[in-house]
Amino acid sequence: MNPCVRFAPSPTGQLHIGGARTALFNYLFARKNSGKFLVRIEDTDLERSKQEYIDQICESMTWLGLTWDDDLVYQSKRTDGYEKAIRSLLESGNAYRCFASKDELEKIRDKTGSYSYSGLWRDRSEKDIQVEMEEGKAFTVRLRVPGGKETIFNDLIYGTITVSHSELNDFIIARSDGSPVYNLTNVVDDSDMGITHVIRGEDHIANTPKQILIYQALGLDVPTFAHLPMILGQDKKRLSKRHGATGVQFYCNEGYQPEALLNYLSLLGWNPGTEEEVMSLDEIIQKFDLTMVHKKGAVFDEKKLNWISGQHLVKQSNESILSGIEIIRKDWRIDFDKAFKLSVINLMKIRSKSLVDLMTQTDYFFSDPHEFGEKDVRKIWKNDTSDIVSDIQIILMKIDQWDGESLEKKLKSFMEEKGLGFGKVMKPIRLAICGTINGPSLFEILSLLGKDICLRRLKRALSQF
Ligand code: GLU
């Protein structure tokens, strides 16, 4: 049987890194095993669920390329199925009505110091229950958890997990207002949707034995479970807003590309077992193996993300980078011709971590530097620098053949002749022309910018510093 998996976000916020990683691992597992990948919106919390979050989650997933099969399933539209399941559990005796009031429960807690429920209504007579019903008393529905036993399941990542039923109590499956709890809706939906593998965050592992008990009580097949390790911040605490940007939308706005972000996310808890970590989505699908996912929390490392993202840019064609830029900034450098833009991209892609970074870092190819760092000027522009730069200005003025090779030859022979080191000559020129002290080959920059612009910028620096 081909597997069927799902991603089940609660639309109480936008899609974040953790959710995207869960969606990705489900997607990879489905694609690798010729299975189905479904999405279910868990919107039963009417107060916190918002349409705008549903839209945002779907947009982010579409942007990432994590396309799902079939229509979205909304829990808010499936109330009938939940009611039916609760009714059937009551009828079979696998669940019972509990009329214990809040006060009663609290008194027990105060007395015993324990939050565990003592099964007050577990064995009450039909007559007792009838009396309460006739009085219109509110009740919750609890699952009759088989006593003296344990639930054992084999998690694909965490191995065999055993939970004693004494730890579970008779937990609530429907609240006093009749609404079903998460553990019940989850089971009913996963079963109705034909989910064979539940792949989700490790924060749900405590729910799993309860859900298994519900499957069994309803006489349904229990799916296979795989819990993914948590994603942590640098301080090894669970990744949250405290750690800064955690929303997928942020990375999209910053010009990270979907394939690069997916590549990085795939490494959060898994690795391909080879040296090569830079992979296309197809390569990841081919190599992915759910059983090789680690148990240990995975630290979200922005530096590594930037490295992976930069590697994707290096591998990408200039044309495709330009198209990517034009998707996020339609009129990017519209006054410049395409060939020039492609040459700039070619020169700078190796030094960029994202499309936005590339656009920012290439400013000086399109306009004269706006400002110069005071510290840089102090470091680079010494007493004799203006004389050196003036000499170079004259040499450059005389050059007819304006290309990288000729420029390199001329400037190198000047340095040799004057006995000047590279730093003394090239650094001030770079500062004057680019406004920065780092960058790709200066000869190539000069060649790309052209003679007029270079001379104009040298003149300006000479008058300014
Ligand atoms: N709605 C749950 C969440 O967002 C997911 C539940 C599940 O995957 O089973 O955490």
Sequential DSSP letters for 373-385: -HHHHHHH--TTH
Residue 418 has a pLDDT of: 95
Ligand 1 centroid vs 192 CA: distance in angstroms? 16
Q: Residue 445: which of 455, 436, 437, 434 has the closest Cα?
A: 434
The DSSP secondary structure of 47-70, one letter per residue, reads TT--HHHHHHHHHHHHHHT-PPSS
Other C-beta atoms within 10 Å of 408: how many?
16
Residue 292 within any structural domain of the chain: no
| 83 and 220 together in one domain | yes
Do 435 and 336 share a domain, yes or no?
Answer: no
Q: Which of 365, 398, 426 is the last residue of a domain?
A: 365
**Whether residue 223 is found in the same domain as residue 197:** yes
Interval between CA 183 and ligand 1 midpoint (Å): 10
Q: Is the CB of 428 under 6 A from ligand 1?
A: no
Q: What is the pTM of this model?
A: 0.93
**What is the Cα–Cα distance from 120 to 100, expressed in whole angstroms?**
7
Domain termination residue (choose one: 207, 228, 249): 228
pLDDT digits (tens, 9 = 90+) for 123-147: 999 999 999 999 999 999 999 999 9
Q: Is the CB of 210 under 6 A from ligand 1?
A: no
Top mutation candidate among 186, 207, 208, 214 for ligand 1, by most atoms within 8 Å of CB: 186
Q: Is residue 308 part of a domain?
A: no
Q: Kindly state if the Cβ of 21 falls inside 6 Å of ligand 1.
A: no
Indicate the pairing of strand 224-228 with strand 231-232: unpaired
Residue (of 356, 370, 294) closest to 325 by Cα position: 356
Q: What is the pLDDT of residue 245?
A: 79
- Which of 206, 228, 250 is a domain's end point? 228
Helices marked H in 338-450? 338-348, 355-361, 363-366, 374-380, 385-398, 404-418, 422-434, 442-449
Report CA(200)–ligand 1 centroid distance (Å). Answer: 7
Nearest CA owner, ligand 1 atom 5: 8
Tell me, rounded to whole angstroms, the distance of Cα 319 from its chain centroid. Answer: 26
pLDDT, block means (10 residues), the chain with 465 residues: 96 96 98 98 94 98 98 97 98 96 84 75 93 95 95 98 93 96 98 98 97 98 98 93 89 97 98 93 96 96 97 98 96 97 98 98 96 92 96 95 95 95 95 96 97 97 93
What's the CA angle centered on 222, arms 220 and 228, to 5 degrees? 150
> 208 with 93, same domain?
yes
Q: Is the same domain home to 453 and 387?
A: yes
pLDDT at res. 242: 86
3-class SS at 332?
coil
For the chain, how many structural domains are there in total? 3
